[in-house]
Structure 1
Amino acid sequence: MGGYDGDAFRTAYDEVMARWPDDRQVLRVPTEFGTTYVNACGPRDAPPLLLLPGGGGATSASWYAQAALLASAHRVYAADLFGAPGRSEAAPGRPPRTAADLDSWLDALLDGLDELDGRTGLDGRARLDGPEGLRGPDGGDGTGGAHPISLGGHSYGGWIALRYALHAPARVRRLFLLDPTQCFAGYRPAYLLRALPMLVRPTRRRVRAFLEWETGGAGLDPGALRLQEAAAGFPAPRPVTGPRPDARALRALDVPVLLAVAARSRTHDARAVAARAEEALRDVETVVVADVSHHALPPAASPALDRRLSDFLAVSG
């Protein structure tokens, strides 16, 4: 097939977002790096939860299977990343380029979400509208109140979330990592080798072939697969990468963590990831999710895991 088709991507994105709760709203939060597109649902006065997607063709839409349950007790925010497919718009010449930039982006995003939903004084930095909300005006540096938020991420989003918890632990109440990459173990060489053709020249066919290989064809949601295929060739800045977190920093982290790893992941050795996390972190619960692979998540997460996550987030303190 040909190159990137923006209309096809937006159609596939909207089809998956139609599976989110009916109260879903769009927030557009300006930051120095550009405007972050956030899908939100749940009561505005409920405890906040921010979810980050994996890299590649993943978007905030990927959390549709968990959104309703989590929104029953939380104000759920799911953000599209810069440097990845989605509807966030990077500022010309100023996308995040370093891991420190990602930390600064999340600082500003959390400030904007606090202001938007009344946890600090609303100053016009961010704006809320309906499902196709309008972009809010640019504002200041984001010095709003540091209200703690629960934070979760899948794959690459887990790496970003863990880095942020190490950067600003006072802002993170609880941390959920869903088969995170480059946090506690590296990639399998065979995984990188298999991904190389798709990374060098992404096409719909190569995306599908890679995902079917990693998942064995099991657990791949058709709508989510269409969205991943439609994202092939998406014009985005190069994603930020970096080293795994330092062992000493991990040991010092005083934030409760729920780590769920995919037993059938071809991305990395899931049990090694869990074992190393248990060695490194002071306060961690680990779950090995049976019969699921890395790229089938989050949609293929079991109801039992979704309930475990809901219970974990509900714990006070």
Structure 2
Amino acid sequence: MAFDRSAFLSAYDTLLGRWPVPVETLDLDTAYGATRVNAAGPAGGLPLVLIHGGGATAASWWANIGELAREARVFAVDRIGEAGRSASGGRQPLRRVEDLHGWLDAVLDGLGLDRADLCGHSYGGWIALSYALRRPDRVDRLALLDPTGSFTSYSPRYLLHAAPMLARPSEVRARAFLAWETGGIPLDPDWTRLYGLAATFPAARPVTGPRPRPEALAALRARCLVLAAAGSRSHRPRTLVDRAAALLPQAEVRTLPDVSHHALPYTRAAELNAELTAFLARRP
């Protein structure tokens, strides 16, 4: 299926239009290309950077931004090289984990931030965690929402169901995959439409890396919250919780009931938002 850029941007703007707070759009120039950042919240609030999951975009935080932006200055970023409003083609290609961290350095620099809190969902959780381990002086608090590739492996069944969408991307295959992973619950039509169109984005080449080593996790300095999705089919939620608690004994590790991996940010959003705002409100 060919990528329909006009339809994708329209779907992106529709979802962004559902943000219940004023949004400031920023385009940051980096060596890797221009990065789109959707900012909200009080200018003097503590900075919080949101890193979306694979196949999603920065617009996908619509059910969370209202609560998060009450106190924090929130920056939701579109990753370069993936579906969104960021544009690759800078002086340096984004190919390695080191490039990914360098890009996030440039985003924080462009926002004028020495340090920030990070919140990442799914693949975005792995990015946030790996960055906090490599750049401990730049991360204060870390919230990981059903992170993949961080504490456990993908479920073989999950990869089997994802294979048709990855081999021959189309909106129909993306929707079928979402329906399976979310257990057939009613899904938000605007979010599902954007996810389906994002699957056909031609330059989507996520940079991945290994799970952090236990000794690296033991040295994590950022205060950390790990929230597992009880209905996640991407991995075994119980294994994720057990390993996260064992490898990060100082972290807060909990399970959110009645929610799948992909629909986590907006399904039962009130419970998720309460967890996040309570965690971010606690000071050392």
Which of the five TM-score ranges fits, normalised by the shorter chain? Answer: over 0.9
User: 1-side partners of 2:168 and 2:121: how far apart?
Assistant: 24
Question: When the two structures are superposed, what TM-score results if normalisation uses the length of structure 2?
Answer: 0.97
Which secondary structure does the structure 1 equivalent of 2:63 belong to? helix
Alignment-derived partner of residue 165 in structure 2: 198
Counterpart code for 1:51: L
Of 85, 89, 105, the match for 2:103:
105
1:300 positional shift: 1.1
1:283 positional shift: 2.0
Alignment-derived partner of residue 191 in structure 2: 224
Question: Structure 2 vs 1, CA of residues 252 and 283 (structure 1 numbering), >3 Å: closer, same or farther?
Answer: same
1:10-29 → structure 2 map (5 Å cutoff): 10-29=9-28
User: 2-side partners of 1:219 and 1:307: how far apart?
Assistant: 23
1:30 positional shift: 1.0
1:93 positional shift: 7.0
Alignment-derived partner of residue 183 in structure 1: 150
User: 1-side partners of 2:72 and 2:90: how far apart?
Assistant: 34
Q: 178-187 or 301-310: which moved more?
A: 301-310
Alignment-derived partner of residue 275 in structure 2: 308
Question: Structure 2 vs 1, CA of residues 92 and 308 (structure 1 numbering), >3 Å: closer, same or farther?
Answer: closer
Question: Structure 2 vs 1, CA of residues 275 and 219 (structure 1 numbering), >3 Å: closer, same or farther?
Answer: farther
User: 1-side partners of 2:142 and 2:65: how far apart?
Assistant: 17
Counterpart code for 1:159: W
User: 2-side partners of 1:219 and 1:310: how far apart?
Assistant: 26
Q: Does 1:166 align with 2:118?
A: no
User: 2-side partners of 1:168 and 1:69: how far apart?
Assistant: 27
Contact 1:3 1:232 in 2 (8 A): no
Of 249, 260, 265, the match for 2:232:
265
Alignment-derived partner of residue 247 in structure 1: 214
User: 2-side partners of 1:67 and 1:187: how far apart?
Assistant: 28
1:1-317 → structure 2 map (5 Å cutoff): 2-56=1-55, 58-92=56-90, 94-114=92-112, 146=114, 148-218=115-185, 220-317=187-284
Counterpart code for 2:15: V
Counterpart code for 1:19: R
Identity %: 51
Q: How many residues align?
A: 284
Contact 1:60 1:79 in 2 (8 A): yes
User: 1-side partners of 2:108 and 2:146: how far apart?
Assistant: 24
User: 1-side partners of 2:206 and 2:275: how far apart?
Assistant: 31
User: 2-side partners of 1:110 and 1:301: how far apart?
Assistant: 30
1:237 positional shift: 4.6
What value does the CA root-mean-square deviation take over the aligned residues? 1.3
Question: When the two structures are superposed, what TM-score results if normalisation uses the length of structure 1?
Answer: 0.87
Which secondary structure does the structure 2 equivalent of 1:261 belong to? strand
User: 2-side partners of 1:92 and 1:170: how far apart?
Assistant: 26
Question: Structure 2 vs 1, CA of residues 100 and 76 (structure 1 numbering), >3 Å: closer, same or farther?
Answer: same
Between structure 1 and structure 2, the one with the greater Rg is 1
